[in-house]
């Protein structure tokens, strides 16, 4: 029986923004806000992105069971009110009347994303000052009609719900969760799941779980294949991983990440010729792939799951 491994929870935000071209550079941090949640005498911190005037997108797990929600920059001075929730995909919209005149994020062209693209992650780690990290797009994992983004840009507690931006500062995803052991296994949620909350995105509907858990919070056997592969790699269960990788390739054959996972697994099992063939297939799907660039979601270490929305140690005094 496979052991279930956990993913480190971060916080997500619904995105409806603007596509219009702007003169001059875009500051990706300008539309990112801090969230502070009060529940059961405790406070927890997260992040959010302004995606339309007066509307923030954040991860539902950040505001789960909230008794009050406040948002702001350095100080969380404004009250926020839940407006829409997609529990399965962990994406919630908040309304903040005081931000009705604020400029929302500029939305990027997510359908043109490719592995290796530069990305920028912005959030408020541990409820402190705004932080920016840089990295590359490492995976595009098809799930529920959209692509979950895997990146090397590092996330920290409290950045859940923050923004993932392209190199031009345009919003392409919402910071969601990561492997607690670190590495290049940080995941952002696709804007397509938000539907009409983001300009130019088609609405994607989903059956909502009765237990209030997002897809990545489910037991390991119920997670999508790319996350199951990550858990097996953490336990170095190569034979089990081979089976999952082969299933992943069969169901997502145009995804180079699935072939890279299979290649790495076969290499660990010392099937060098088969590993080389799998890598060659991945390379044919992504011609820019370097021979040394063979890391995939299968190299993640997931010892346990915990929320990356930051819970303060002291009781709330508000």
How do residues 229-287 score in pLDDT, each as one tens digit? 877 776 788 999 999 999 999 988 888 888 988 999 999 999 999 999 999 998 888 75
What tokens were used for 112?
């043109």
How do residues 93-107 score in pLDDT, each as one tens digit? 999 999 999 999 999
At residue 297, the pLDDT reads 24
Domain made up of 106-193: CATH architecture: Beta Barrel (2.40)
At residue 234, the pLDDT reads 64
If you average pLDDT over residues 73-92, what whole number do you get? 90
Handedness of CA 267, 271, 276, 282 (dihedral sign): negative
For the ranges 59-63, 81-85, 198-202, the lowest mean pLDDT is seen at 198-202
At residue 197, the pLDDT reads 66
Q: Return the bridge partners of 35, or none.
A: 46, 71
What tokens were used for 228?
């199951």
The domain made up of 215-299 has a fold known as: 1.25.40
At residue 212, the pLDDT reads 79
Q: Residue 104 gets which letter from DSSP?
A: P
Alpha carbons 287 and 67: distance in angstroms, whole number: 51
* Better-scored residue on pLDDT, 114 or 304: 114
How do residues 156-207 score in pLDDT, each as one tens digit? 889 999 999 999 999 999 999 987 766 678 899 998 888 766 655 555 555 6
At residue 185, the pLDDT reads 80
Alpha carbons 58 and 21: distance in angstroms, whole number: 25
Reply yes or no on whether the pLDDT at 137 is more than 50. Answer: yes
At residue 41, the pLDDT reads 84
pLDDT band for 305, please (50, 70, 90 cuts).
very low
Contact 168, 185 (CB under 8 A): no
If you average pLDDT over residues 284-294, what whole number do you get? 55
Domain with CATH 1.25.40.10 in the chain: 215-299
Q: Return the bridge partners of 186, or none.
A: 151, 178
How do residues 10-42 score in pLDDT, each as one tens digit? 433 333 344 444 445 789 899 999 999 998 888
How do residues 118-133 score in pLDDT, each as one tens digit? 999 999 998 889 999 9
pLDDT band for 219, please (50, 70, 90 cuts).
confident
- What is the C-alpha R_g of the chain? 19
Reply yes or no on whether the pLDDT at 68 is more than 70. Answer: yes
Domain with CATH 2.40.10.10 in the chain: 106-193
> Three-state SS for 226?
helix
For the ranges 60-64, 137-141, 289-293, the lowest mean pLDDT is seen at 289-293
Reply yes or no on whether the pLDDT at 290 is more than 60. Answer: no
Reply yes or no on whether the pLDDT at 76 is more than 70. Answer: yes
At residue 241, the pLDDT reads 92
Average per-residue pLDDT for the chain: 79
At residue 181, the pLDDT reads 63
């Amino acid at each position: 029986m496979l052991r279930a491994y956990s993913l480190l929870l971060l916080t997500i935000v619904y995105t409806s923004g603007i596509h219009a071209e702007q003169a001059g550079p875009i500051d990706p941090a300008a539309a990112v806000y801090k969230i502070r949640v009060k529940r059961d005498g405790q406070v927890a911190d997260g992040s959010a992105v302004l995606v339309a005037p007066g509307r923030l997108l954040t991860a539902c797990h950040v505001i789960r069971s909230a008794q009050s929600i406040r948002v702001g920059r350095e100080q969380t001075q404004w009250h926020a009110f839940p407006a829409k929730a997609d529990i399965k995909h962990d994406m919630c919209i908040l309304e903040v009347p005081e931000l009705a005149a604020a400029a929302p994020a500029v939305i990027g062209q997510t359908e043109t994303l490719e592995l290796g693209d530069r990305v920028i992650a912005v959030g408020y780690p541990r409820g402190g000052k705004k932080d920016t990290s840089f990295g590359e797009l490492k995976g595009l994992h098809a799930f529920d009609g959209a692509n979950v983004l895997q990146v090397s840009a590092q996330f920290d507690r409290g950045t859940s719900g923050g923004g993932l931006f392209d190199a031009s500062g345009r919003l392409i995803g919402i910071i969601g969760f990561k492997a607690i052991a670190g590495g290049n296994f940080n995941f952002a949620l696709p804007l397509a799941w938000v539907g009409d909350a983001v300009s130019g995105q088609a609405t994607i509907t989903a059956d909502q779980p009765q237990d209030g858990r997002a897809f990545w919070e489910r037991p390991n056997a119920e997670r999508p294949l790319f996350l199951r592969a990550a858990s097996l790699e953490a336990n170095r269960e190569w034979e089990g991983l081979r089976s999952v990788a082969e299933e992943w390739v069969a169901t997502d054959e145009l995804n180079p990440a699935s072939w890279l996972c299979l290649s790495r697994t076969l290499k660990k099992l010392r099937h060098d010729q088969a590993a080389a063939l799998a890598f060659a297939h991945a390379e044919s799907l992504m011609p820019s792939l370097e021979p040394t660039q063979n890391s995939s979601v299968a190299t993640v270490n997931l010892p346990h799951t915990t929320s990356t929305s930051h819970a303060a140690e002291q009781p709330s005094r508000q």
